[in-house]
Copies of this chain bind each other. A is one copy, B any other.
């Protein structure tokens, strides 16, 4: 790579000081600088193909205009859709995004945070995983600006933007009940993550409110490993009962995809014999035999708001804002 041109190169060429070049190229002291000199500097910069060295600038200004984004897995459609929105919103404010996938592992996220902090990110948008409390407290102690997205931790006093998972779940189950279903199951992840627990709580609460049966074997909790087999097993158990279930709520997009794959091989009438509602959008829902109802997360708001909150807390004293957005229930079987 040939040497890049620096402010000094321009200064020498034009015959002025580096200071002046810096002012002109940054549009500072506009009124006070000789128009002609300024123009000459600009022309020369263009001619020499000058490019600001952000690294040098960052070192001096202590600002990198970079946001770190940690999600569980960038290849998960939910996360990549979120990433795209965050990218666009960040770009509006002159920020670039570096990203990493934690695979829900504390160790990996620790490592990512470490790398990101070494790189002097201005702030972090973070879909934290289980048992991240200590890690988050540490970020707070270090006064690193960050905003949680999608996830939240009751014991940790920090900003977040997430779904109101309890209400979303509650609403979905009430809708199912309204359709006359009585034997309603749910498959969710076995996890202490609050947002996932809230989904389960909403499910139970809606059943209780309407005095419907809540059987513990109807609340299936699966591990993330071998998702496909786990969901399959859960479905089999649910269908094996003498009086089978007549509705099911899938607690996440990947569970739905796995569940639908299983059901697609079965001769059940959907939705007549089994009403299905899922969390999150996904292609699978559209292309199943009959379109599946789902709980639509306000992705755009999630992404945009998390960027806005983060930028707000960067620099300024951090006001803690916690947002739980409402979901929309998308009904396709009328």
Write the residues of chain A forming the contact surface with B, with a CB cutoff of 8 angstroms: 1-2, 51-56, 58-59, 64, 66, 73-77, 79-81, 83-84, 87-88, 91, 96-101, 114-120, 142-144, 257, 260-261, 264, 282-284, 286-289
Contact = CB atoms under 8 A, between A and B. Distances in A.
A100 B96 CA distance: 8
Given A1-B142, A257-B287, 11 more contacts: A51-B118, A53-B59, A54-B120, A55-B64, A73-B84, A75-B80, A96-B98, A96-B100, A96-B119, A283-B283, A287-B288
Contacts of A84: 73-75, 101
A82 to B, nearest CB: 8
B74 A77 contact: no
Contact of A74 (B55, B87, B116): B87
Contacts of A73: 84
Contacts of A116: 96
Task: Give the 6 A-B CB pairs with smallest separation, nearest first.
Answer: A80-B80, A75-B84, A283-B283, A75-B81, A283-B284, A54-B118
Contacts of A96: 98, 100, 115-116, 119
Contacts of A51: 114, 117-118
Number of copies: 2
A81 to B, nearest CB: 5
A85 to B, nearest CB: 8
A118 B1 CA distance: 14
Given A54-B119, A261-B286, A286-B284, A83 B77 contact: no
A291 B109 CA distance: 37
B80 A74 contact: yes
Nearest to A84: B75
A80 B101 CA distance: 11
Contacts of A59: 53, 55-56, 59
A334 B53 CA distance: 58
Contacts of A289: 289
B64 A87 contact: no
Nearest to A292: B287
